[in-house]
Amino acid sequence: MPKPYSAMMDEINGRLKGKVGDDRAKEIRLLLKEIQFDVGDYRKIKDKLRRELKEIETVEQAKKASRKTGHTKKETPQFVVIGAANSGKSTLINNLCGTDFLVADYPYTTTEPQYGALKHDKVNFQLVELPAIYEGCWDGDKSHLAIIHSTDCLLILGRSIKDFKLVLAELKKNNIHVKSERMEDGFIQTNPRTIPAFIVYDKKLEVMLSTGLKMVSNEDLETVRNTMVEVTKPVRIFTMDSFNKIEDFPIVFFKDQLTIKDVTKKIGKGKVEIFKDAIVLEGGSNGRRKRVGISYELADGDVVHLTFNK
């Protein structure tokens, strides 16, 4: 005799309680096998379980894929902008990127992620607005959580301490930790996930938070842009031709201990094998000029000219 709907939901909720990630997926697969009927209420329950399973699989796949990549080669760090409803996410992105997202007085205006781009200090950034965060917002649908998992940085917005507490609690609940700047090696995707982040607050915020994260007022857009640079710590390397002409746009790296070898690799496949030597202008066009080898360590703003054998 099949169980009634409510009894079945109780059993399912009991069995899934406290289970997350792969464990939860495993239990759902078991449940799907065990529930033999696939009509009426059973169909509804199974569809719900199938949907959730798919969402969990999406997140887990994103996690695994990002773990495999290790060092990212990207030149455009992505900031996901998160915050409670009406915390000014769309307004901030519009102001920073010159986009035209819908800004509205009523909450939950943004139901799909929205994208914007900006360039500051010769670094490109991508901004993504996620729909408003509320308590338990990622308990069911995991697709937005997957976006957070695979992003490089977070920009956390709020108008009150309550807003921030909510966002920080939801992140914590979902095993996402925040830190004040990127990892030494770039935007490495760790497990559990630690993401560089900073906070943008409304000037009316009465007290400060002690999160260890940088905090910037939403009225000070220039500082918001500068903080995006500080958090991601770009190493901008300018190349120079044989006539001492320096390129306007740098090659941008996001890792510490960058060497001439990294730049050589970036310039082309097989270039490391034919590398001869390099001229470096330390810190820019007026910097000290020196001839260096392939393992020479570069710093932000250095100018290089590479020479190859052949």
Going by the DSSP 8-state scheme, the letter that residue 74 receives in this structure is -
User: Nearer Cβ to ligand GDP, position 91 or 124?
Assistant: 91
Closest distance to ligand GDP from the beta carbon of 310 (Å): 55
Angstrom distance (rounded) from CA 118 to CA 193: 26
Question: What residue spans of 212-286 are helical by DSSP H?
Answer: 221-232, 260-267
Residue 7 binding: pick among Mg ion, ligand GDP, none (C-beta 5-8 Å cut-off by kind)? none
Closest distance to ligand GDP from the beta carbon of 165 (Å): 16
Q: Does 90 bind ligand GDP (CB under 6 A)?
A: yes
Q: Which residues, listed in sequence order, are joined to residue 30 by a DSSP beta bridge?
A: none
Q: Which of left, alpha, beta for 127 (phi over 0: left; psi -120 to 50: alpha)?
A: beta
User: Nearer Cβ to ligand GDP, position 101 or 275?
Assistant: 101
What residues numbered 215-274 form the site for ligand GDP, per CB under 6 A? 218
- Taking CB under 6 A as the criterion, the residue among 66, 110, 232, 264 binding ligand GDP is 110
Q: Does 114 bind ligand GDP (CB under 6 A)?
A: no
Question: Can you read off the two tokens belonging to residue 244?
Answer: 């001492």
Q: Does 144 bind ligand GDP (CB under 6 A)?
A: no
The interaxial angle of helices 40-69 and 21-34, nearest 10 deg, is: 150
Closest CB to Mg ion belongs to which residue?
A: 90
Q: Which of left, alpha, beta for 65 (phi over 0: left; psi -120 to 50: alpha)?
A: alpha
Number of residues that bind ligand GDP (CB under 6 A): 16
What residues numbered 61-90 form the site for Mg ion, per CB under 5 A? 89-90
Which distant-in-sequence residues (6+ apart) come within 8 Å of 14 by Cβ?
A: none
Of 300, 301, 55, 303, the closest CA to residue 292 belongs to 303
Question: Can you read off the two tokens belonging to residue 128?
Answer: 């993504």
Residue 85 binding: pick among Mg ion, ligand GDP, none (C-beta 5-8 Å cut-off by kind)? ligand GDP
Residue 223: is it exposed, middle or buried by C-beta count within 10 angstroms (0-12/13-18/19+)?
middle
Q: Does 110 bind Mg ion (CB under 5 A)?
A: yes
What residues numbered 169-208 form the site for ligand GDP, per CB under 6 A? 202
Q: Provide the mask over 56-85, with x wherever binding to ligand GDP is found by CB under 6 A and - wherever it is not.
A: ---------------------------x-x
User: Nearer Cβ to ligand GDP, position 39 or 102?
Assistant: 102
